[in-house]
Amino acid sequence: MSSELTAGDALADRVAAAVLAVPGVHDLHGGVLGEVATYLPGRRVNGIRLLDGVTQVHLVLEWDAQMAATVDQVRSAVAAIVPGAVHLAVEDVAGPEQAPPTPAIP
């Protein structure tokens, strides 16, 4: 394996870890057809696409996340790792967890 692939592996994984560490991010999203990914030997990092000078990140946010603040934090986290433009897309919002049923009052 070339050192270039190893560096790409590390970069895609670092970007994904940084994005997932941002409060309000539920998951990464691979796009409608799973096309948003960094393809690596034997695996892929969904939701992260590394291009020359541009990093694309596709997200699933938590139900109660403040979208603008969360997107700003993700953009800052990614920009600290990769040079160039950071393009973000919020693909989905994770539904709220179901609350336990309320017991009936006799």
Position 102 in a domain: no
The answer to whether residue 101 is domain-embedded is no
Contact yes or no for 28/59 (Cβ under 8 A): yes
Domain limits at 52? 3-93
In a domain, 10, yes or no: yes
Give the E-state strand segments of the chain in sequence order: 25-28, 37-40, 43-46, 48-51, 54-61, 85-93
Residue 4 has a pLDDT of 41
Total domains in the fold of the chain: 1
Q: Which of 43, 38, 29, 34 is nearest to 11 (CA)?
A: 38
For the segment 37-59, what is each residue's pLDDT rounded down to a tens digit?
A: 999 888 999 999 999 999 999 99
Q: What is the CATH number of the domain that holds 84?
A: 3.30.70.1350
Residue 98 lies in a domain: no
Query: How confident is residue 22, by pLDDT bands cut at 50, 70 and 90?
Result: very high
Q: Give the whole-number percent of the chain exceeding pLDDT 90.
A: 73
Q: Is residue 104 part of a domain?
A: no
Whether 106 shows a pLDDT value over 50: the answer reads yes
pLDDT recorded at residue 5: 41
Residue 71 lies in a domain: yes
Distance between CA atoms of 83 and 37, rounded to whole angstroms? 18
Does a structural domain hold residue 19? yes
